[in-house]
Structure 1
């Protein structure tokens, strides 16, 4: 697409940004609203599944679309992704139980994965790596702005309107994004020589699904050493082996193994995996602290997360410009990750809303510096013909990290909470129901569930039904549950900190090569030895145009 005028490219970017914002705002708007929605529909045990299914389906669609968009072009997939997302969001609002909610969120995830994979790759089609820095910053700013508006709006909706509007309010924006992409985005002819890797796609899917199911169920539905969990991991391992065999033989692999010979791609993807595992796994539980421990409403819970988004928007936009001007990127990852670690440590030991706000500001600064880097490094390290699959691999590892992080942190959360409640009972801090009048004990048992902390209106309503002499007992019980929940969240945030530390160590080994100022790797023709150098990440500055 380099033949397009700059004005046309900017117009196309407006359409891409509209599609991305539609997907992003629908993802962030549920963050503060979901605890209340789960409390209304029931099914606290399946809370992580609402997030996990979204990440699972988006992960699979992301990696499968990467190669297909290299063959058919990005436009049909962005359009298809928007349609999937609109259908999923519309149906989600009609959910009558947790299982319907999970199913429809899965459909939304398919659409989100397609949109994100196609959008990020399209930017690579439009602009050379040296120019992509500022546009990557803009796209990060879109996520940041959606993170500012989404949580606050989501909390407001569940506080003042029917929760269904969380999923319906932005559907008109999806229609607008669809029309903009349809009219503005150029059509690319199919590459006739390319074939579709059906078997590779199948075995890749059969690797991802049992892998994520295993992490999601282990420690909750089944023990880590149970037959079911071991069976899922074994199935994932067998499918991975078959996938590798297929990819080594097919003409046009869905995920070329040559990518993993490139040290820059490998380290970037591993760093992105760990960063997302720590970030998503920990941040998804921040509303539990604000709403459950501190007793803040979902509306004000959104205000607590807003500072993170504001600082991320500002810094990511600036970082993108600095990368474009300097052509350097590693320094920003080395700066961003330690700041993220500091923010996560503050989360681990926060004991007030003020501390939570400070943690969000610090963490947002780190995100602003670090997040724009890794997609750019991957795109810069491969030949233009592999742009789609390389970008998809980056999104794949990020999504896997986020999904596995949420699942593992969910296990840590539930296991730690159960242990803390049992410890409180043994230590005598919990109320001994056997010593109470059966009628009194029966009333109090309604409150003996941490889920109750996430639905403040219902908690206050039930609290008003109790006689005054029972209020001190109720206060003691609620304080005990809040202490147990707070201690569990500390464990979750420390686990996220550990993952970010490993990501920081990896970044030290990331080799920096100059950002290309053209989408043509070498002129006039890419020779075989140069193609091999690009695949291994060994281009020197003299070889880069």
Structure 2
């Protein structure tokens, strides 16, 4: 997961209209990929009724999550190799193919394979979406776009189950997948026409062996958990072989990562206790959250007898609790800098919520069920919000990207493993209980597997079958309580370190709370942090953040002259030469508007005018460098709490800050405020 991005000198400058179209295109990709994590939850009972194979139900979620986890790593590297735009478009095509195959699937195996293909496309869409934001949105405006992206990612958690229920009840569960096709086609067309091609200058080394080993190892573990006790006995050679093979593959992964030149997950990260604790907690949070969200609609449809749509709506208290505590805890962490109490309290509340949900039955009222779900959601939200932030606050700059993506990776794997364990517990308890209920009542298995058919049965025949489902799902939640309690114990080992200013700025972001897949590149991560500082400063000052004109010029230059120097510097850097016509075209103003500005700048000795050509004089170059130094000083003051023991880390940070200072200066040069402002300004 190491990052090697180097932004090329020809990074595009887009006008506001095109920037917003690009953003909408990227959001469509993020929306589809994030929705399909949860949209199948409410459709699972109906899918089982249509296709059978209830024991394989959990694989519809785990196949997607596991493929997404691996694809996220690969897509980020391929974006560095071939450019973000083609990887984004190819990921969309893969997602379409998976969606079409899922829609036409006539058996559970085909549907599981289709979900895996969807996961490959989804991982590519999500990680390149965040990278594209960094490529095309100016740093000073990036914070609001990243915040909006995080909000979209969070809202899909609410929309997914509800939309799945609506499609299932009013069309077909297959439309959960078909609907992706027209949206993705529109997105691909928009991407081809609007997203600029940006190819980073540095070509990364991809850890193919490490990625393959961890993917196969985790897949073997999940298969063992899925098949154990259902397809094969726990002591059978198949299950023992799967677990032994998974252990060997994961051990080989550790050995390979210790020697790889650019490892997917550097083993030295685990020497950092904060990273280790946060990774374990992230795994547990993913384990509990997606497992619960997958099986809650099943409980509601079979036990409470509600429709697929209503089951999606009835899970909203859990999502509401998650959203509220994520936002509240993020703001408290941002204000106080204290974070340790939240994962401790979160794990305890999560364990309480799981226990309460294990007591639900046919006689539990809707308000009590909602309270139990709200409790679980609040616990997850308290725990999830701070984990990525804490890691970003403690690791060296050189490991910033790998640590961030590492914690997210553990959360995704936890979601896949958690859903598998939930499925194993569910199937192991349900199969014998349901068999006994069917033998007692004489009801055909097809009626017991279909929630609508079960609701149509006479109460005396339905009661034993409903009790079998109740017992099975209650057992699932009861057995997961110890996992949450383990998280409570682990959370006490989390060290509390004063938060950096840049980390506080990110803490209140909704996307951070949901551990949205993010770039594994350290430069992207630092830019993300700086973008949030800029956004916060802009809100406080109600204007554009950054040094004032007085800071930049020492009061010696007018705004128009300062801008004119910066505009020549920018065009010379991007195009290899500056002309009056070119600058006028860039800013869509008549040449006549700029002529007096450059006449004044030339008279002051900062620019040499030769026909249409413009060139900075030695004095102009000194002023441009002065502007850059002022921006660099501004960054240094806001990142002064970034301290390093390793000189190599400091050198990397210095390089990144120098480049960002140049980018911020160029953004300022691309904003001709003198045309509509006669007084001094920023």
**Distance across 2 between alignment mates of 1:378 and 1:413:** 34
Deviations 1:267-319 (A, max 9, x none): 11110111111222233211222111111111211110123223433443444
**Distance across 2 between alignment mates of 1:143 and 1:218:** 34
338-347 or 313-322, which deviates more: 313-322
Shift of 1:388: 4.2
Structure 2 gap segments, 5+ residues each: 1-6, 503-525, 531-634, 653-682
The match for 1:529 among 636, 643, 646 is 646
169-178 or 358-367, which deviates more: 169-178
The match for 2:453 among 451, 458, 463 is 458
Across the aligned residues of Structure 1 and Structure 2, the Cα RMSD in angstroms comes to 3.9
> Using a 3 Å threshold, how does the CA distance of structure 1 residues 299 and 196 change in structure 2: closer, same or farther?
closer
TM score, norm. by length of structure 1: 0.80
**Distance across 2 between alignment mates of 1:527 and 1:273:** 29
Deviations 1:384-408 (A, max 9, x none): 5544433332232112211111112
Contact preservation (8 Å) 1:344, 1:494: yes
TM score, norm. by length of structure 2: 0.65
Shift of 1:73: 6.3
SS where residue 196 of structure 1 aligns?
Answer: coil
| Paired residues for 1:437-448 under 5 Å | 445-447=442-444
Contact preservation (8 Å) 1:53, 1:109: yes
The match for 1:381 among 394, 399, 412 is 394
**Distance across 2 between alignment mates of 1:495 and 1:531:** 47
Contact preservation (8 Å) 1:56, 1:109: yes
User: 1:289 is matched with which residue?
Assistant: 299
**Distance across 2 between alignment mates of 1:213 and 1:292:** 26
User: 1:408 is matched with which residue?
Assistant: 421
**Distance across 2 between alignment mates of 1:234 and 1:132:** 47
User: 1:510 is matched with which residue?
Assistant: 494
User: 1:498 is matched with which residue?
Assistant: 482
**Distance across 2 between alignment mates of 1:509 and 1:14:** 42
Contact preservation (8 Å) 2:55, 2:423: no
User: 2:72 is matched with which residue?
Assistant: 62
| Paired residues for 1:181-330 under 5 Å | 189-192=199-202, 194-330=204-340
**Distance across 2 between alignment mates of 1:175 and 1:320:** 36
Shift of 1:93: 0.9
Shift of 1:75: 5.0
User: 2:179 is matched with which residue?
Assistant: 169
Structure 1 gap segments, 5+ residues each: 434-443, 464-470, 536-545
Paired residue total: 505
**Distance across 2 between alignment mates of 1:504 and 1:527:** 31
> Using a 3 Å threshold, how does the CA distance of structure 1 residues 534 and 287 change in structure 2: closer, same or farther?
farther
**Distance across 2 between alignment mates of 1:70 and 1:515:** 29
Contact preservation (8 Å) 1:342, 1:363: yes
User: 2:409 is matched with which residue?
Assistant: 396
Larger Rg: 2
**Distance across 2 between alignment mates of 1:260 and 1:187:** 37
Shift of 1:146: 1.9
User: 1:482 is matched with which residue?
Assistant: 466
> Using a 3 Å threshold, how does the CA distance of structure 1 residues 346 and 70 change in structure 2: closer, same or farther?
farther
**Distance across 2 between alignment mates of 1:452 and 1:268:** 45
Shift of 1:491: 1.3
1:20 and 2:30 aligned: yes
The match for 1:155 among 141, 160, 165 is 165
**Distance across 2 between alignment mates of 1:324 and 1:179:** 40
Shift of 1:207: 2.1
